[in-house]
Amino acid sequence: MPSNAFSSVKLPDSLVDKAREAAQPMRRSVASQIEYWATLGQVVEHTGLSVQEARTAIEDYERAVKARAPQTVDELTARLLASQSRGSLAQRVRDVVEDNRSRVD
């Protein structure tokens, strides 16, 4: 069972400031933003992507999403739920990893 315990850590002020700026448009707390970044970092390390490869995969994904932007809130909600259930971003990351591996071989 997951623990609900929290721990305090010391972080550089500059990182906290960047997290505060990034958190605001997403309506996250600073702690949630840093947790989000840490989760992305874990995914990147686990998949073997470089930072640049992960950045490119995310940018490509975001570009594709913007190209087919929803027209209504209901459409947006439906797309988000479908994307979550499909795992389309996770699949895109796997595709980039496989493409990079094939280039090395």
Rg (the chain; Cα; Å): 17
Cα 71 to Cα 69: distance, rounded to the nearest angstrom:
7
* Helix/strand/coil for 105: coil
89 pLDDT more than 80 = no
Domain boundaries, the chain: 13-47, 50-105
**How does pLDDT run across 10-29, given as a tens digit for each residue?**
999 999 999 999 999 888 89
Whether residue 23 contacts residue 33, with contact meaning beta carbons closer than 8 Å, is answered with yes
Rounded Cα distance, 11 and 34, in Å: 10
Q: What percent of the chain has pLDDT over 90?
A: 22
Please indicate, yes or no, whether the overall pTM of this predicted structure exceeds 0.85: no
Instruction: Name the residue among 92, 23, 87 with its Cα closest to residue 53.
Output: 92
